[in-house]
Amino acid sequence: MSVDMSHFKPLDPGRINTLDPVELQYWCQELRCTEAQLHDAISHVGDHVTAVRDRLTSKE
């Protein structure tokens, strides 16, 4: 089920909290990736949004 993320803001907008399923869904929408792709990027570069975004875009 999809949740409306239009009003959601992460507590720390510079990091991805992998323990929060709502935040994971937010970042998947924001970064236009699947949860598996998000976890893969985080496993390689850590949870900083800039590094994750760079990792995801470098694979396109």
What's the number of domains the chain is made of? 1
Tell me whether residue 5 is in a domain: no
Tell me whether residue 50 is in a domain: yes
Tell me whether residue 30 is in a domain: yes
Tell me whether residue 32 is in a domain: yes
Tell me whether residue 9 is in a domain: no
Residue ranges making up the domain that contains 31: 21-58
Tell me whether residue 10 is in a domain: no
DSSP 1-60: -----TT---SSTTB--TT-HHHHHHHHHHHT--HHHHHHHHHHH-SBHHHHHHHHHHT-
Which pLDDT score is estimated for 28? Answer: 97
Average pLDDT per run of 10 along the chain, which is 60 residues long?
Answer: 74 95 96 98 98 91
Which pLDDT score is estimated for 44? Answer: 98
Which pLDDT score is estimated for 60? Answer: 64
Tell me whether residue 3 is in a domain: no
